[in-house]
Amino acid sequence: MLQYLFLYNNTFSGSIPPEIGNLKELLSLDLSANQLSGPLPPALWNLTNLQILNLFSNNINGKIPPEVGNLTMLQTLDLNTNQLHGELPQTISNITSLTSINLFGNNLSGSIPSDFGKYMPSLANASFSNNSFSGELPPELCRGLSLKQFTVNSNSFNGSLPTCLRNCSELSRVRLEKNRFTGNITDAFGVLPNLGFVALSDNQFIGEISPDWGECKNLTNLQMDGNRISGEIPAELGKLPQLRVLSLGSNDLAGRIPAELGNLSRLFMLNLSNNQLTGEVPQSLTSLESLESLDLSDNKLAGNISKELGSYEKLSSLDLSHNNLAGEIPFELGNLNSLRYLLDLSSNSLSGAIPQNFAKLSQLEILNVSHNHLSGRIPDSLSSMRSLSSFDFSYNELTGPIPTGSIFKNAPARSFVRNSGLCGEGEGLSQCPTTDSSKTSKVNKKVLIGVIVPVCGLLVIATIFAVLLCFRKTKLLDEETKIVNNGESFKSVIWERESKFTFGDIVKATDDFNEKYCIGRGGFGSVYKAALSTGQVVAVKKLNMSDSSDIPATNRQSFENEIKMLTEVRHRNIIKLYGFCSRRGCLYLVYEHVERGSLGKVLYGKEGEVELGWGRRVNTVRGVAHAIAYLHRDCSPPIVHRDISLNNILLETDFEPRLADFGTARLLNTGSSNWTAVAGSYGYMAPELAQTMRVTDKCDVYSFGVVALEVMMGRHPGDLLSSLPSIKPSLSSDPELFLKDVLDPRLEAPTGQAAEEVVFVVTVALACTQTKPEARPTMHFVARELSARTQAYLAEPLDSITISKLRSFQK
């Protein structure tokens, strides 16, 4: 007598056989995560003793028939992520024993039966997200007061929320965003002590934010943006000790920003943009030590920008644009070292100069100070902002030449317009004048004599000094050549234009690459640490030409051209390549040095347990994704790294990741065959490389997925990946492999927002490690998804999430 049939996580295809209806005593049927197709067989509804029916993550189509109501003993019904369509039958309400129903990720339409939930006293989980449902929610959805998780986001529901939600005290997660709900939000929710996640965004709610929200002490995420909510922000929101995300943007909120929000010590995202807020930015907001994103744009805020805003240590995005802020830009904003995505101060009434120390924002990608009253010059120091990809200085009163860096020379004219005093080599700018003849003709002869004589004297002294210096440099170079090459000169040298040292300096600093300066060895050569006399420290990778099949001697010129282009790569998460030298059959690649060392060293050392927590691990994965996406999409021609591994990712002192080692990187020219010898590190290479040896950007995607999994697991995911079949999810004969069992056991299990981020990283990593290259996402897609402000993939507790379920989320 068969009671339990578990066939999930395999590669079964075809239709569900009708003979399954003969298993009359079956209590639990799980066929999830296969390739099953076709409609639900009528015989399925003969299994009247069935308590659990899991058919999620297949290709099942057709409708859910009325006969589903025959399964009156059913407790769990999970049909998510299929191709079901049509309406939900009225008979679904007959299943009074139902505790969990998951129908998300289909194309179901119509309304949910009006009596759904009324006769289900134990209903704890209901998910109808990502369908085409419409109509109003059932009025007695929470009749049994057992509902814990309710998600209907991304549908077309309308009407007011059922009043029963106000008394549903067990609720822990509610997602109603991206619908057409209306009605007054003021009293829709009561004091719900277990509520942790609420998303009401992108609807048409009106009313005011109730002070009662301040009593939901477990709330970690409150999103109400994109509605028509009015009134003031209640000060009571400052009483939420666990709150991580507060998003109230794009409403009609007015009044001042409550100073009490400065009490939200765990807040990492605050979005109050596009409202009618007035007054000054509260000084108390600078107490939010965990804040990563602050958006107060499109309001009516006034006053000066506080210099205390420069004290944030984790802030990655700051948007104060489109307000009435005045005064000068505080010098202290240049201390926001973690600022990486955006600094937008545009459309205010700011005056004075652009601070010189904005150049310290070395990770910043977007800078906008347009539509203000700024004056003076654009600081030349901004040329050193290696990650800056977009800026706007337009509509100000700026004067003088623009900085000489390539990013300024190549910037579009719109970045500088309506600054009548700007000049230089940028598009749309006039050339800067070299002399002013009208004034020169009026200079007094005595003044000319008084100036010319000492200048000539200085020129004579300078000439003598230059000759001596040149002689001394020649002598030094001769000595270096004798020491290094026994009279031979370097065969080829390519150097980054802004470097302030030579390869000869490196040779001297390492005693001609003495073994005592070697700090590591890899498959393609050795790495040396060179401490230069200027105090700068660089890393030098020495490659033996005879060992590197990737750079044949006959193609050396092509390789050198590629290296020359690589020295122009600028990204905050990519190690800077200073240059290259060829000597004695060896290639030397010179990089900036990162003191903390490789991610592998840190992850598997004591730091991995003590200092590399979940937040830093997620940030590491995100940074690496951005670096690879930059190589693939923003470089022309695109660059495929080909050797992404833990040892080729370095960590700064603040644990910011830096992608390293272009020793095996190769430019991928569009349209070329790219057939080459296998390159990469064992355990990180895409499976197709062993067969085809064809290098594509999808090889990097696979390697990234392995790295991401390894960072989350604290060990190499080889055993996990080897048990995954080529197309559909599977792990092993173990019927239940939970995510919590593969995460790094040295750390406490993540909770709250951290848990959501970890789940999403693993989800993305599994998508990246699919066997078929064409099934993997692009790195641009991955980077964009990982940079989303909030992730919301936890539709159930972390302890109950399986690896197979995460694989069902793949796009």
**Residues known to be catalytic:** 643
8 A C-beta contact, residue 665 and residue 640:
yes
User: For residue 637, is the peptide bond before it cis, meaning its omega torsion is within 30 degrees of 0?
Assistant: yes
The type of residue at 607 is E
DSSP E strand stretches across 418-482: 421-423
Token pair of 80 as six digits: 């998510």
Token pair of 529 as six digits: 């640490």
In sequence order, the 6+-apart residues with CB closer than 8 A to the CB of 462 are: none
Token pair of 675 as six digits: 């057939």
By CB atoms closer than 10 A (0-12, 13-18, 19+), residue 652 is middle
Report the alpha-carbon distance of residue 287 to residue 299 in Å, rounded: 22
8 A C-beta contact, residue 275 and residue 249:
yes
Report the alpha-carbon distance of residue 76 to residue 99 in Å, rounded: 6
Q: Crossing angle of helices 614-629/752-768, nearest 10°?
A: 40
- Can you say how many angstroms the Cα of residue 102 is from the centroid of all Cα atoms in its chain? 29
Burial track 364-382 (b if 16+ CB lie within 10 A, e otherwise): bbbbbbbbbebeebbbbbb
The type of residue at 75 is Q
Residue 246, beta-bridge partner list: 222, 270
Token pair of 448 as six digits: 């000319």
Per-residue CA distances from 169 to 133, 191, 253 (Å): 26, 8, 28
In the chain, how many H helices and how many E strands?
Answer: 14, 43
By CB atoms closer than 10 A (0-12, 13-18, 19+), residue 514 is exposed
Measure the N-to-C terminal CA separation of the chain; round to a whole number of Å: 39
Report the alpha-carbon distance of residue 22 to residue 38 in Å, rounded: 19
Q: Return the sign of the alpha-carbon dihedral for residues 530, 534, 537, 539.
A: negative
- Can you say how many angstroms the Cα of residue 150 is from the centroid of all Cα atoms in its chain? 28
Report the alpha-carbon distance of residue 122 to residue 145 in Å, rounded: 8
CB neighbours of residue 701 within 10 Å: 26
Report the alpha-carbon distance of residue 199 to residue 248 in Å, rounded: 11
Residue 768: closest CA among 717, 720, 703, 718: 703
- Can you say how many angstroms the Cα of residue 593 is from the centroid of all Cα atoms in its chain? 24
Report the alpha-carbon distance of residue 211 to residue 188 in Å, rounded: 12
8 A C-beta contact, residue 419 and residue 391:
no
Size of the chain in residues: 811
State yes or no: 542 annotated in a binding site. Answer: yes
Per-residue CA distances from 765 to 680, 713, 810 (Å): 19, 12, 10
Report the alpha-carbon distance of residue 254 to residue 269 in Å, rounded: 20
Task: List the binding residues for ATP.
Answer: 542
